Chain A
Amino acid sequence: MKIAVGTEKGGYLIDPESRLVTGPLFPGWKVTAFGQTPSGDYLAGVGSNWFGASIHRSPDLENWSQIENGPTYGDERALSQIWAFHNVGKRIYAGVAEAGLFASDDDGATWEPIEGLNDQPTRSEWMPGAGGLCAHRLLSADDTIWVGISAVGVFRSDDAGVTWQLKNDGVPPAGQPEGVPRPEIGYCVHNLDHDPSRPNRLWRQDHMGVFRSSDGGDTWERIETGLPAGFGFVMRRDHASERLFVVPLHSDENRVPVDGRFRAYMSDDDGESWTVSGSGWDPAPTFTSVLRGAVATDGEGTVALGTTSGQVWITRDAGDRWLQLEPVFPRIGAVALL
């Protein structure tokens, strides 16, 4: 297993055993997402402020080639970033900015838009968050798919991506005064995860706090007991330990850890309560953060975080002990365990 690190300037691979670091992959390019095809090839979402975004594939994480027929809207919508890959059987989904989904049914060679989502009736009113207007997180169970779009909300499809419904009841809209009529869109989901054995049990790190759903997203309840703040970008579940992880930040306007205490927090009770995750954190004030794509789990106790100041933190025992790996990278936007 390698820790794949996507940064503002290139991608890097860390062997967690030997600590050997290779890279940069794609020197000078932003590496924004990693994935794998059903046949086992690796995928990387790569982008540039000058030259746009594209998908590259590799059989070995060393030799990469650009996919010629990558996602494109073919209309006035620009594809500016690949945010996420997610596999459902033989199909690969790519979440992108401008927000939308594309799918490949031929191992990543060609990509088609998921029109039921991309052409939603509310589409013309979708607005970006600070990270852009992006489809950044997917989950699935059988024919049900969830996608998080900032700053629009969570959509769920119960028919394998044909039709989609907004699922944000219980979550306040972002940037709206209290008392205004509840809008249909404008919910700034930052991250999602669920329990594969109970797929309708969802957890959500939102712009407006930390939430849980027990009904597939139909309704959400706030779960922040023990957290120093509700804001943040991380939500991951290690399935072996059944632990949840978040990385709280002070607030929307001050996106750093409270008092500089950079730590992951974990929950052993489905989010009812939260405590600092284990030991190993830097005792010195550390004013950094973890972005939504910069967290990964293998489901077997390994969790990796990448920070905006270029550090990689890892636990191999589901959050009991944390270790910062060397070196320090450029600003990290994507982490994967491949």
Chain B
Amino acid sequence: MAVVRLPRLLDPATGGRRVVEAAGDDIGSVIASLLKELPELEVHLFDHRGDLRPHVLCFVDGESTRLTDRGAAVATEVRFLQAVSGG
């Protein structure tokens, strides 16, 4: 189980929820749990190739990642942020 923290900008997709508990011990399963609960997030976090959007940042347990290894372990927290490059 991990805590997923979401930026305020995503309120229209999440109904204002910025902290979501998502089941899983690795990033792939945590994201799957997150998107099962909030499917509207998928188009906002990931592009048409399934990659993390270019101007979206993801930190897993405090470490920046582009989510290329979906099997990587998650201890406690996944945090999404908008990059300063996006607008």
- Chain A nearest CB, measured from B39 CB (Å): 5
Instruction: Find out whether the CB atom of A51 lies under 8 angstroms from the CB atom of B40.
Output: no
Q: Check A68 against B44 for contact (C-beta < 8 Å).
A: no
Within 8 A of B (CB), among A82-98: none
Contact A77–B48 (Cβ < 8 Å): yes
B12 touches A46 (CB 8 A): yes
Residues of B within 8 A of A (CB): 8-13, 15, 39-40, 43-45, 47-49, 53, 55-56, 82-83, 86-87
Q: How large is the interface on A (under 10, 10 to 19, 20 to 34, 35 or more residues)?
A: 20 to 34
> Are A51 and B44 interface neighbours, CB within 8 A?
yes
B12 and A66 within 8 A (CB): yes
Task: Tell me whether A26 is interfacial, beta carbon within 8 Å.
Answer: yes
- Measured CB to CB, the nearest residue on chain B to A30 is B87
With known contacts A26-B12, A76-B48, A49–B43 Cβ distance under 8 A:
no
Candidates A48, A49, A66, A73; contact of B48 at CB < 8 Å: A73
- Kindly state the separation between the CA atoms of A292 and B27 in the bound complex, as whole angstroms: 43
State whether A28 touches B48 (Cβ < 8 A). no
Question: Closest CB of chain B to A311's CB: distance in Å?
Answer: 22
**Given contacts A28-B9, A29-B12, is CB(A51)–CB(B53) below 8 Å?**
yes
- Tell me the total A-B contact number using a CB cutoff of 8 A: 59
Specify which of A49, A54, A74, A75 is in contact with B86 (CB 8 Å cutoff): A49
A51 to B80, CA, bound (A): 11
Establish whether residues B48 and A70, one from each chain, have CB atoms under 8 Å apart when the complex forms.
no
Q: Which residues of B contact A28 (CB under 8 A)?
A: 8-9
Closest to A78 in B: B48
Contact (Cβ within 8 A) A49 B55: yes
Let me know if A50 and B82 touch, CB within 8 A.
yes
Report yes or no: A68 in contact with B40, Cβ–Cβ below 8 A: yes
Of residues 36 to 59 in A, which have CB atoms within 8 Å of B's CB atoms?
46, 48-54, 56
Cβ A51 vs Cβ B82 within 8 A: yes
Answer whether residue A214 sits at the interface, using C-beta atoms and an 8 A cutoff. no
Q: Chain A contacts of B56 at CB under 8 A?
A: 50-51
Closest to A9 in B: B87
Contact partner of B53 (CB less than 8 A), chosen from A46, A52, A68, is: A52
How far is A76 from B43 in the complex, measured between Cα atoms in Å? 14
Question: Are B9 and A79 in contact, with the CB atoms below 8 A?
Answer: no
Q: Is the CB of B44 within 8 A of A52?
A: yes
Interface centre among A52, A56, A68 (most CB of B within 10 A): A52
Least Cβ–Cβ distance between A24 and chain B, in angstroms: 11
A308 interfacial contact with B, CB 8 Å: no
A72 within 8 A of B: yes
Asked, given contacts A29-B9, A50-B53, whether A68 binds B87 with beta carbons under 8 Å apart, the answer is: no
Q: Which of chain B's residues have a CB closer than 8 A to the CB of A66?
A: 12-13, 40
Structural contact, B44 and A72, CB atoms closer than 8 A: no
Cross-chain contact A49 with B87 (CB below 8 angstroms): yes
